[in-house]
Structure 1
Amino acid sequence: MSTTLDTLTPVPRHLPALRWSGAIAVVAALGVAPLVLGGYYLHALIIAMIFLLPAHGLNLILGYTGMLSLAQGVFFGIGAYVSALLSLHFGTSFAFNLVASGVIAAVIALPLGIPALRLRTYSFVMCTLGFVVIAQTVAKNWIGMTRGDMGLAGIPQPRFQFGATVLNINTIPSYYYLALIVAVLATLGFYALIKSPAGRCMVAIRDNEVLAESLGVPTWAYKLVVFMLSALFAGMGGSLYAHYMTVVSPLVFQMYYSTTILVIVLGGGVGRVPGAVIGSLLFVALSEALRITPELRMIIYGCVLLLLVFSVPNGLAPLLDRGLERLARIRPVTRGGQTHGH
C-alpha cells in the first residue's frame, strides 16, 4: 500500500535538496561534537560510527534484496582479526588494513554464500546463525593464529605520513574524526550503489524474485555479490574497531554484535539510506552512553526499544521522511500575502 501511495502522491520539488541539507547539517553537527562533548561521549559516538559500517552491509542485504543474515557479526570479527594479524605480524598501515579487511571478509563470504544463498528464508537465517557458532569455535581453538581466549593485544593505532609530517591518531578526538571520515565515505558509497542500475535490480529481487528472474535479472548472482558486499562493509567496520580498541578476542564473534547490528537496521528503518545512520547514532551511542549507570543501563535501553517497536514499527527513517515531506510542502508566503506554488 505504501508503494501505491508514494506513486500517487507527487514528490515535493524541494524534497531532495532538503534531504541533502539535512544530511550536511548532521555531518556538520558531528564535526563540531569534539568541541562540546567530553571523551566519554565521543567514545560512544566512535562506537556508533564503527557499527554503522556493518549496519550498512546488513541494510544492503536485508533492505534491498530481502534476505535476513545474522552473519554480519562474523564478518565484523573477521575484519578485526585480519587487521590485528596484518599490523602485528607484517606492520602494514591502517589504510591497507582497512581495505584488506573488507576484501578478505568478502572473499570468505564467497564460499559461505554459494551454498547458503540456495536456501530460503528461515533456512538461510539458521545457516548464517551457524556461521556465528563456527566462527566462535575457530577463534577460541585456533591458538596458533588467534591466541584463543587471550586474544591479540597491542594492535597499533592508525598513523599517517605525509612527506616529513607524521599524523598519529592516538587520542579520542583524533580517532573520532577518522571514524567520521570513514563513516561518511561508506555512507556515500552505499548511497551510490543503491542508486545505480544494480541497486534497482536488488530492489526488483526483493519485491518479486520470480518476476525479476523472468525479466532477465541473474538473481542468484546478484544475491551472492550483495552477500559479499555486505561482508566487505562489515569487515571494514571490524578493522576500524580493532585499531580503536587495540585488542581483539573471540568475544568479537559473540551473538551480541550480530543482534546489535540487526537492532540498528530494524530500529532505524530497513531499506532506507538514513536508517542505519539513525539506528547507529541512537541505539549504539545510547547503549554506550548509559554505561555510566550500569544498574539502569539495560532497563532504559530495553524501554527505548519497546517504545520504538510499538510507536514506529517500520523504524525511524520513514518518520523522518514524512517530516521532511511536510516541511517541503510548506509554500513560502510573499509580501503580498500570496503563496508560491510548485
Structure 2
Amino acid sequence: MSSTTLDMPRMPISRLATVNWGASALALAALLAAPLFLGDYYLHAMILAMIFLLPALGLNLILGYTGMLSLAQGVFFGIGAYGSALLSIHFGTPFLVNFLAAGLLAGLVALPLGIPALRLRDTSFVMCTLGLVVIAQMVSKNWVDLTRGDMGLSGVPRPKLGFGETAYIILRAPEYYYLILALALLVVFAFVALIKSPAGRCMIAIRDNETLAESLGIPTWTYKLIVFMLSAVFAGLGGSLYAHFSTVVSPLVFQSYYSNTILIIVLGGGVGRLPGAIIGSFVFVAVSEALRITPELRMVIYGFVLLGLVFVFPQGLAPLVQRLTGALARIGFKHGEPHDGH
C-alpha cells in the first residue's frame, strides 16, 4: 500500500496538469511590478518567500506527488547553502555556477542517504529523515575545518553574474528581487514540466497505491529514490539563494525550524496541488514577518494562526484560491456574454 502518512487530497490524473493561466498571468504581473511600489523591507520579505518556495516545491513533490513525508528538507537546504558559500569564498566562482552546484551537491548527498531510508515505510521513514536533521546539526558544528563550527561562514559574496572584470555584482534589493524571481520561475516551470510528464503520473500511481503501481510494472523504489534526490536538488537550490542573500551561513540553518517552516508552507498551501507551495510560501512568510511587531508573542500568535488554518482550511489555502479565481472567471465570462440584441 501507499506510504502516505497524511490525509492528502486525491487528485484525478485528468486534473494533474490543470493551470489557471489567467490567474497565473495576473500574479506574475503583480510580482513584476512589486519593486515599483514596495520598499526594501517588503521586498526582503518577498525575496525570503521565493527562496523558501524552492525547498517547498521539493517537499511538495515528494509528499504531494509520491506520498512520502520527509523532514530532511532543511538538511538539503543547509547543504546547498554551505556548498554555495564555500565555492564562492574559496574559489570565487560565479553565482550561477554556485547555484547549480548547490543543487547537484544536495542531490548527490541525498543518493546514499535515500538508498537505506527508502527501504523503510510510513513512520519509520519519517523518523529516519528526522535523524538526518540531528546528524547534520552535529556535523556542521564539529567539522570546524570546513564549516568553522558555530562561528559559521561570514562574508559570502554577493551574487556575481559573469566572469572577470565585466562581471555584474547584485547589490540592491530590487536587483536581488528580480534575480531570485527569474530563478524561481525557472524552477516552477521545471516542477510543472515534471509532474505533467509520464513520470508525474507514475508518482501519482505510487502515492495512491504502491502495490498496484508495482503490479503495473512501475519500478516504485527507483522512482522514490529519484524523487527523493530531486526534492533535495530543489532544497539545495534554495539554500544557494539564501546563502548569497543573507551573506552568512551557520549551523543554525540545519535547525528543525527550517524544515518545519518548509513543511508548514506545503501543508498550509495545499499538498499535491500546483499552486500550493507558491501560495503557502508568500502567505506564511508574510504572516511571520508581520508578527515581528510583537516579538514576545510572535510564535504564540503564529501557532494559533496555524491551528485556525487546520480547522478552517484542512486541505490548505490552494483549494480556496482556486475556487475564488474560478468564480471570478465565471463572473467575467457571464458579463462578457452577448445579449442577443436585447
TM-score of the aligned structures, taking structure 1 as reference length: 0.91
The amino acid that maps onto 1:180 is: L
Q: Equivalent residue of 1:295, what SS?
A: coil
Task: Identify the residue that residue 4 of structure 2 maps to in structure 1.
Answer: none
Distance 1:77 1:29, change over 3 A: same
Counterpart contact for 2:265–2:284, Cα < 8 Å:
yes
The amino acid that maps onto 2:340 is: G
Alpha-carbon shift at residue 302 of structure 1 (Å): 2.3
Q: Equivalent residue of 2:67, what SS?
A: coil
Structure 2 residue 25 is matched with structure 1 residue 31: no
Structure 2 residue 47 is matched with structure 1 residue 46: yes
Structure 2 residue 93 is matched with structure 1 residue 89: no
CA distance in 2 between counterparts of 1:295 and 1:46 reads 25
TM-score of the aligned structures, taking structure 2 as reference length: 0.91
Q: Equivalent residue of 2:296, what SS?
A: helix
Task: Identify the residue that residue 266 of structure 1 maps to in structure 2.
Answer: 267
CA distance in 2 between counterparts of 1:132 and 1:31 reads 36
The amino acid that maps onto 2:294 is: T
Distance 1:121 1:337, change over 3 A: farther
Task: Work out the percentage of aligned pairs sharing the same amino acid.
Answer: 68
Task: Identify the residue that residue 236 of structure 2 maps to in structure 1.
Answer: 235
Counterpart contact for 2:9–2:271, Cα < 8 Å:
no
Alpha-carbon shift at residue 204 of structure 1 (Å): 0.4
RMSD of aligned Cα (Å): 2.2
Segments ≥4 residues shifted beyond 3 Å: 1-4, 161-166, 324-331
After TM superposition, the structure 1 stretch with the greater mean CA deviation from structure 2, 271-280 or 163-172, is 163-172
Alpha-carbon shift at residue 135 of structure 1 (Å): 0.2
Distance 1:3 1:156, change over 3 A: closer
Alpha-carbon shift at residue 294 of structure 1 (Å): 1.6
CA distance in 2 between counterparts of 1:298 and 1:119 reads 33
Structure 2 residue 336 is matched with structure 1 residue 336: no
Write the mapping of 1:158-237 to structure 2, written as runs, cut at 5 A: 158-161=159-162, 166-237=167-238
Structure 2 residue 289 is matched with structure 1 residue 288: yes
The amino acid that maps onto 1:88 is: I
Counterpart contact for 1:44–1:289, Cα < 8 Å:
no
Distance 1:218 1:323, change over 3 A: same
Cα deviation code 1:163-202 (max 9, x no counterpart): 9754221111111111111111111110110000000000
Cα deviation code 1:95-115 (max 9, x no counterpart): 000000000100000000000
Counterpart contact for 1:47–1:284, Cα < 8 Å:
yes
The amino acid that maps onto 1:90 is: F
Q: Which runs of 5+ in 2 are unaligned?
A: 1-7
The amino acid that maps onto 2:230 is: L
The amino acid that maps onto 2:124 is: S
Task: Identify the residue that residue 122 of structure 2 maps to in structure 1.
Answer: 121
Cα deviation code 1:234-285 (max 9, x no counterpart): 0000000000011100000000000000000000000011000000000023
Counterpart contact for 2:94–2:163, Cα < 8 Å:
no
Cα deviation code 1:123-176 (max 9, x no counterpart): 000000000000000000001010000001111001123897542211111111
Counterpart contact for 1:155–1:242, Cα < 8 Å:
yes
Distance 1:2 1:69, change over 3 A: closer
The number of residue pairs the alignment matches comes to: 331
Structure 2 residue 63 is matched with structure 1 residue 62: yes
Q: Equivalent residue of 1:273, what SS?
A: coil
Distance 1:153 1:60, change over 3 A: same
CA distance in 1 between counterparts of 2:169 and 2:100 reads 19
Counterpart contact for 1:40–1:289, Cα < 8 Å:
no
Alpha-carbon shift at residue 289 of structure 1 (Å): 3.4
Q: Which runs of 5+ in 1 are unaligned?
A: none
Counterpart contact for 2:94–2:162, Cα < 8 Å:
no
Counterpart contact for 2:60–2:277, Cα < 8 Å:
yes
CA distance in 2 between counterparts of 1:249 and 1:186 reads 25
Task: Identify the residue that residue 312 of structure 1 maps to in structure 2.
Answer: 313
After TM superposition, the structure 1 stretch with the greater mean CA deviation from structure 2, 104-113 or 180-189, is 180-189
Cα deviation code 1:39-73 (max 9, x no counterpart): 11111111111000000000000000000000000
CA distance in 2 between counterparts of 1:101 and 1:162 reads 19
Counterpart contact for 1:47–1:285, Cα < 8 Å:
no
Alpha-carbon shift at residue 324 of structure 1 (Å): 3.2
Q: Equivalent residue of 2:181, what SS?
A: helix
Counterpart contact for 2:54–2:237, Cα < 8 Å:
yes
Counterpart contact for 1:58–1:72, Cα < 8 Å:
yes
Q: Equivalent residue of 1:206, what SS?
A: helix
Alpha-carbon shift at residue 300 of structure 1 (Å): 3.2
CA distance in 2 between counterparts of 1:3 and 1:73 reads 26
Distance 1:112 1:2, change over 3 A: closer
The amino acid that maps onto 2:97 is: F
